[in-house]
Chain A
Amino acid sequence: MHQTREQLDVQAKEILGKFSYDTITMKERMGIPAQEMPAQDPAVRVCNMEEVAIGYTENQVRVEALRCLQCKNRPCVQGCPVSIDIPGFIAKAAAGDFASAISILKDSSLLPSICGRVCPQEVQCQLTCTVGKAKKDIDQAVAIGRIERFCADWARENNAEPAMEIAPATGKKVAIVGSGPAGVTAAADVRRAGHEVVMFEALHKAGGVLVYGIPEFRLPKAIVQKELDNLTAMGVDIELDFLVGRTRKIHDLMDVDGFDAVFVGSGAGLPRFMGIPGENLVGVFSANEYLTRSNLMKAYDHENAQTPLFHSKKVAVFGGGNVAMDAARTAKRLGADEVYIVYRRTEEEMPARKEEVHHAKEEGIKFLMLHAPVEIVGDEKGKVAGVKLITCELGEPDASGRRRPVEIQGSEKIYDFDSVVVSIGNSSNPLIKQTTPEIEVNKWGNFIVDEETCQTSMKGVFAGGDIVLGAATVILAMGQGRKAAKAINDYLAAL
């Protein structure tokens, strides 16, 4: 049953009335029900691009925060890639002191409004949360991400973001390549130390995957823009339409343009295909193309957008990660009647955030598990007409610890589809490597960096985020951006 935000708020208010923050007992905390995230009604939201999860009300966030036991050993903090003081900020939220909560959050994470929305909490902080463990149900863990999101949204809406202090000018110059979460974090931290910072972005809008990849219905672009505005307000110069390696090489930036250090956060922007027959038929897209058309170019807005979209009726999305979920849910919103996620393992092994899988199902996305594509079949006009899939079963665990899919010979069958979105991951873009041979990369093309400093094999050049980690997560990209910034600040201080 779909409950409205108002209904959920009334229930929360009632609970809140029963307890006082100063006297509540452990037992009482454990007895409070987990607060459901208010969301747009599935039937309505598949017809719009607006955010699906609407966000807790103030009553709800305080109730959810009361569920936290304030554990002394802080297992949640160990699960957080950037070690946010989780019980600390939750205690403030429970008391309704959101200004203090946001300042604790911002000590460790530059982008809580984004991380609160897109982090895979169920395999990070919420996985290790005592409440979830005690109840033997991960869905019962304290909803750390939702509380984080509320605090960040509250700060933005009330203009209560903690001021960023900027050290006096040092006369040193740092170039940041790429404006995704790694670049944004590194830029902010380097700027705070008083260095001049110029961020170079290839596209005509900054934000990286947060802008071109992750859809509006999951991460409103106005939120990302606000973070970029904050960066500009700090004095970071953002240069769009600038492809480092082509418009200017890293050497030129350092030797001619006077940059003392460079941070490369160029992401994992090279879509992988499977190499099966039919992959270049009309109607086969990489998830990057499909999502970029819709998000960056706003092609979902038929009236205004100049970038066209392919009209699909029956779409097969290959893959089981966040990218696949985003593509599938976008296809539905763009008017497809039927959308299938085709994944070669089972739902349990799917790397997508749990919430996205849940939302996708509510929206009527169908899940075809244990099937692998072997061929895309075309019609006489070179358009997709169907997909040949083979059934799989799960075998022994592979290197990633997930059970390996084993194809069942002779089980191939052709299914009707008119479009295919390939969402099996991204590799790193080779451009910077090609034009800067000193930078060492591994066999997948990822930059090799020092684990502590994010320094590459080229002096003065640091790197972080997906270009180092392969397609990873926002929080890991941010974490590396921060690490690298610290190392850059140390490096410049010693120059």
Chain B
Amino acid sequence: MNKILYKKQLSQNVFSMVLEAPLIARERKPGQFIIVQLGGDFGERIPLTIADADAEKGTISLIIQAVGVTTLRLVNLNVGEYVANVLGPLGHPTPIKKYGKVIGVGGGIGVAPLHPVVQALKAIGNEVKIVIGARSKELIVMEKELRVIDPDLTIVTDDGSYGKKALVTEPLKEACETWKPDLAIAMGPPIMMKFCAATTRPFNVHTLVSLNTIMIDGTGMCGGCRVNVGDETKFVCVDGPDFDGHLVDWDNMMLRLGTYRAQEQEADHRCRVGLNK
């Protein structure tokens, strides 16, 4: 199990990977994720969204952005090698219902988790509009797959190197004003999701976000993934990963994400030093 069947570099540090994982492929639903650990006593456990799955072939696909030690080690594995530990599918699936008009907003590699969700929403008859954004052209991934769902897909980049020079919140606001969606789904970096939620709030558009807190076990055991949602503390791994974006305490969540920044930078540095040898 967990054999790497396919690997492709999508942009400078974004890779797509297909793993043999028949049990997970059979059970998973859009919105769910896995936890990966690369073996040995010392490996870290990291969460990754299941971007797609083929129950018949028994495979799952991942989109991985190499940002630190574990993601870097993962994308350096080759086809034919094995990922030692893969646990899933975890979390609650995104509720796939008839909402009417749905706008999906993906930032950076947030388009990876967005894809299966908008695909499923479209399949049951929702009208789907998609906005994707990134810092620059090289970081836009999965455009082709998303165009299948929304041929009028809107693309924005921070530097204007592709699509319109804007942040995703701009077309989102426009859509809220003119298209009037019944539901917005935002997936991407926390700061982007925070501003998407702020954008839809005045229009009273229900906004789902998929949170990417730090996790260890992914089973509800450690509480490291907790966030404030409304007046409650929620565990992202078992209560989420989707929440009402208007209720999430973004500032606290972002601070918590930075808990280990100093140590991560040190480890990342060590790791890259090793790789360059």
Binding site for B on A (CB under 8 A): 202-204, 212, 240-243, 246-248, 269-271, 273, 275, 279-283, 285-286, 288-289, 292-293, 297-298, 301, 304-311, 381-383, 429-431
Partner of A308, one of B88, B220, B228, B264: B264
Enumerate chain A residues within 8 angstroms of B176, measured Cβ to Cβ: none
A306 touches B223 (CB 8 A): no
A306 touches B220 (CB 8 A): no
Enumerate chain B residues within 8 angstroms of A212, measured Cβ to Cβ: 221
For residues 113 through 153 of chain B, which have their beta carbon under 8 Å from a beta carbon of chain A? none
Enumerate chain A residues within 8 angstroms of B69, measured Cβ to Cβ: 306
8 closest residue pairs by CB, A with B: A308-B263, A382-B255, A289-B222, A308-B260, A286-B223, A269-B221, A306-B44, A204-B85
The docked-state distance in angstroms from the alpha carbon of A87 to that of B163 is: 82
Q: A204-B87, A309-B263 are in contact. Are A292 and B255 (CB under 8 A)?
A: no
A301 touches B42 (CB 8 A): yes
CB distance from A182 to the nearest CB of B (A): 16
Contact count band on B: 35 or more
The docked-state distance in angstroms from the alpha carbon of A429 to that of B255 is: 27
CB distance from B83 to the nearest CB of A (A): 10
A203 touches B44 (CB 8 A): no
B41 interfacial contact with A, CB 8 Å: yes
B227 interfacial contact with A, CB 8 Å: yes
Enumerate chain A residues within 8 angstroms of B217, measured Cβ to Cβ: 202-203, 292
Q: Return the chain B residue nearest A202 by Cβ.
A: B219
Enumerate chain A residues within 8 angstroms of B60, measured Cβ to Cβ: none
The docked-state distance in angstroms from the alpha carbon of A393 to that of B239 is: 38
B23 touches A248 (CB 8 A): yes
CB distance from B38 to the nearest CB of A (A): 8
The interface bits of chain B over 232-249 (1 if a CB of A lies within 8 angstroms of the residue's CB, else 0) are 010000100000000001
B86 interfacial contact with A, CB 8 Å: yes
CB distance from A444 to the nearest CB of B (A): 15
Q: A280-B228, A306-B43 are in contact. Are A243 and B219 (CB under 8 A)?
A: yes
Partner of A269, one of B44, B220, B251: B220
| Complex A-B: 5 CB contacts under 8 Å | A202-B87, A246-B90, A286-B222, A305-B42, A309-B260
Known contacts A292-B216, A310-B260, A429-B219; 20 additional CB pairs below 8 A are A202-B219, A204-B84, A204-B85, A241-B85, A243-B90, A247-B87, A247-B88, A271-B223, A279-B233, A282-B258, A282-B259, A289-B224, A292-B217, A297-B44, A304-B41, A305-B42, A306-B44, A306-B70, A307-B44, A310-B259
CB distance from A280 to the nearest CB of B (A): 6
B12 interfacial contact with A, CB 8 Å: no
Partner of A288, one of B86, B221, B264: B221
A204 touches B45 (CB 8 A): yes
The docked-state distance in angstroms from the alpha carbon of A301 to that of B44 is: 13
B276 interfacial contact with A, CB 8 Å: no
Q: Return the chain B residue nearest A209 by Cβ.
A: B221
B233 touches A273 (CB 8 A): yes
The docked-state distance in angstroms from the alpha carbon of A241 to that of B252 is: 31
Enumerate chain B residues within 8 angstroms of A309, measured Cβ to Cβ: 260, 263
A429 touches B42 (CB 8 A): no
CB distance from B220 to the nearest CB of A (A): 5
For residues 68 through 91 of chain B, which have their beta carbon under 8 Å from a beta carbon of chain A? 69-70, 84-90
B17 interfacial contact with A, CB 8 Å: no
B226 interfacial contact with A, CB 8 Å: yes
The docked-state distance in angstroms from the alpha carbon of A429 to that of B238 is: 10
Enumerate chain B residues within 8 angstroms of A306, measured Cβ to Cβ: 42-44, 69-70, 267
Q: A246-B88, A247-B27 are in contact. Are A297 and B216 (CB under 8 A)?
A: yes
Q: A247-B89, A305-B42, A382-B252 are in contact. Are A285 and B224 (CB under 8 A)?
A: yes
